[in-house]
Structure 1
Amino acid sequence: MTAGLFLLLGGTASPSVADSSPSASPSEDGDAPTRAGTSFRTATEIEQGQKATAGASTGDYLYWSFPADSGRRPTVKATVKLPDAAQTSSTWQIDVYDGLRRRQACQYGAQTRTAGAEAGSVELSCTLRTVRAWSEQWANDPLPGTYYIRLTATDLGTADLGLPVDAEVRVDAKDVGGAAAVDGSLAEPLVPGIAMTTEEGDESSDDSSTAVLSSLEPDDGWASGWWSDRWVWTTVGGVLAALAGVGGCSLTRGAGQPSRVPPGS
C-alpha cells in the first residue's frame, strides 16, 4: 500500500450521515467514552477492552474507532437498548472498516439482527479475520492500523424514526500467535493522515505538527507481534534437525567400518 494512496483516501469526504450528533449518556467507567461520532472523520476513539456508550436516535449513524495490530483477531460487540415506544420491528447492523475504509468481512458472529417491536434490546457481534502484518495490494486482508465501527438501523419503520436509543460497544482481541505470521510488514500502520491533532513540541517550529487523525495505538506499540511462538518452533525445529543429522552421520560411519579379524583365523 503506497503512502500516497493512503493519504488520498484518508482525505476523502465521508458518506452523508445524520446531522445531529449523538448525545452523551452515563457510563459505568468514568474514563470510557460516552459519545459516538457521526462519520469516519468524527469517530470516537476507544481502547481494546473498553466499553463505550452513547445515546442517540433511531436513524443515526454511530461511529467509533480502535487500533488493531498484526497477529490479533478483533471481536466487536454491540448492544442497543431499544425504545419502549417502538411500534414496528427494526433491523440493526454493525460494520467494521479498516484504515483505508474498506469494509471487512466478519469471520463469524451475528452482524445483523432484527428485533421485534416489543424487544427491549438487540445484541450484535463481529469477529474479524486475523490482522496480517503484510498483504498484496489487490487483497482485502485486514492490516495493522485504525479500524472503524459503524452501528445503525438498516430497516426501520417511519413511525419509529427519531426515538431515543442507548448503544454500548466493546472491542476485544485474541492473540493468534505465530500461526498467522507472514514474511513481510508494512512500513507504517494504516492510520489516517488528516491534520486533526498535533504532537506536543515546539509550536514555533513548522515540523512540530504531525498529520494524525487517530491518536490511539496498541498498549505495547505498533508491530508488537514481531516476536511470536513461530520463532520458538523454528529454532527448536532447527536444533532437532541438527541433532538428527549428527546422530545419523555417527550411525552411518559406525556401520561402514570393516570389522577387525584376528590374524591366522
Structure 2
Amino acid sequence: MRFTRALTAAFVLLGLAAAPAAADSSPSASPSEGGDAPTTAGTSFRTAAEFEQGQVATADGAAGDYLYWSFPADAEQRPTVKATVKLPETHAAQTWRIDVYDGLRRRQACQWGAQTRTADAGTSSLELACVLRTVRAWSEPWANDPLPGTYYLRLTAVNVPASDLGVPVSAEVRVESKDVGGAAAVDGSLAEPLVPGIAVTSGSGEDDEDGKSAVLSAIEPEDGWSSGWWSDRWVWSGIGAVLAALAGIGGYALTRGSGRPSRVPPGA
C-alpha cells in the first residue's frame, strides 16, 4: 500500500515537472508588446533598423538598394525569417534574395526555405523565407554555429536590369522562432551575447565621427538573455532520477520477503 501511494505521488510530481518543459517547446510567435516596429530600413550593418521577434518591420526603397534590419535571437531558438517584397505594376523580371548574418557578421546558412526567388515581369509581389539553424549557447571558436546575440537581415535584388534600377518597391520582414528546448542544450555558455552592432540611436555613449550618439545594440529577448543556463534538460534529468529511485524502491519491496521470519520449533 505504501509503495502504491508513493508511486501515485511520484507520477503527480512528474506531471507537474513535465508541464513547463512542454510549454517551453512550443513556438514563440506572439508579437512583442514593447515598442513599435520600424518603418524604415538601414543601408548597412551599422545603420540596420532594429526590431523584435514577432513584429512586422516595413520599409520603402528602390530596386538595387541594400535594406538592412537587425533582431535578437537567444540560445535554443530556431528563427524563421520571412520577407515580402511588393513590386510596381510594370517591371522586368527581378531576382530578390535575403541573407542573414550573426553578431560577428558571419553569413548563416538557411536549413530550408526560399531564400532566393525571381519575380516574373508584372508580378505584384513575392515572398522569401529562411529557416536558420538552432542557436547554440556555446560553440568552438573555429565553428560557424549560430550563437546568441544580434542577427542582421539583408534584403536586396540581384542582377537587376538597368531599366529597373531605382524602381520603387516596398518590403515587409518578420521573424518568428521555435523554442527547441533541451534537445539543443550544450554544456557551456557565452560570457556575453554577440551584440557588436552599432546603432545610431538615442542613448548614452561616446559620440561617433558624425557627432551622433552611438551605443551598442539595445535589443534583446523580452525575457532577457538566457545564456544557456537553463533548459528543459534539467527537468528530464530530474524525472530520470525520480524514476530510478522508484525502481529501487519497487525492487526492494518485491525482494524483501513476506515480512516476519517464521519461528523454528525448539529442538528441531
Task: Please give the TM-score of this superposition, normalised by the length of structure 2.
Answer: 0.77
Whether 1:42 and 2:52 are equivalent positions in the alignment is no
Identity score, percent: 75
Task: Give the alignment of 1:24-35 within 5 angstroms.
Answer: 31-35=36-40
Three-state SS of the structure 1 residue aligned to 2:237 is helix
Distance 2:57 2:241 in 1: 47
Q: Which has the higher contact order (CA 8 A, sep 6+)?
A: 2
Three-state SS of the structure 2 residue aligned to 1:246 is helix
Whether 1:130 and 2:148 are equivalent positions in the alignment is no
Query: In the alignment, which of 90, 100, 103 is matched to residue 94 of structure 2?
Result: 90
Whether 1:101 and 2:99 are equivalent positions in the alignment is no
Question: How large is the RMSD of aligned CA atoms in angstroms?
Answer: 2.6
Task: Give the alignment of 1:112-261 within 5 angstroms.
Answer: 112-192=116-196, 194=198, 196=200, 199-200=203-204, 212-223=215-226, 226-254=229-257
Three-state SS of the structure 1 residue aligned to 2:127 is strand
Distance 2:122 2:263 in 1: 96
Distance 2:199 2:66 in 1: 23
Contact 1:192 1:212 in 2 (8 A): no
Contact 2:83 2:127 in 1 (8 A): yes
Whether 1:70 and 2:75 are equivalent positions in the alignment is yes
Three-state SS of the structure 1 residue aligned to 2:247 is helix
Distance 1:262 1:155 in 2: 103
Distance 1:230 1:150 in 2: 35
Q: Which residue identity lines up with residue 53 of structure 1 in the other structure?
A: T
Three-state SS of the structure 1 residue aligned to 2:126 is strand
Q: Any stretches of 5+ residues in structure 2 without a counterpart?
A: 1-34, 207-212
The residue aligned with 1:207 is none
Task: Please give the TM-score of this superposition, normalised by the length of structure 1.
Answer: 0.77
Residue 190 of structure 1: how far off its partner (Å):
0.2
Residue 228 of structure 1: how far off its partner (Å):
2.9
Distance 2:216 2:41 in 1: 16
Contact 1:179 1:230 in 2 (8 A): yes
Contact 1:193 1:211 in 2 (8 A): no
Distance 2:151 2:70 in 1: 5
Residue 121 of structure 1: how far off its partner (Å):
0.5
Distance 1:260 1:109 in 2: 78
Contact 1:107 1:128 in 2 (8 A): yes
Q: 1:194 to 1:66 in 2, by over 3 A?
A: closer
Q: 1:198 to 1:35 in 2, by over 3 A?
A: closer
Segment drifting more, 212-221 vs 39-48: 212-221
The residue aligned with 1:110 is 114
Distance 1:80 1:194 in 2: 26
How many residues in Structure 1 have an aligned counterpart in Structure 2? 227
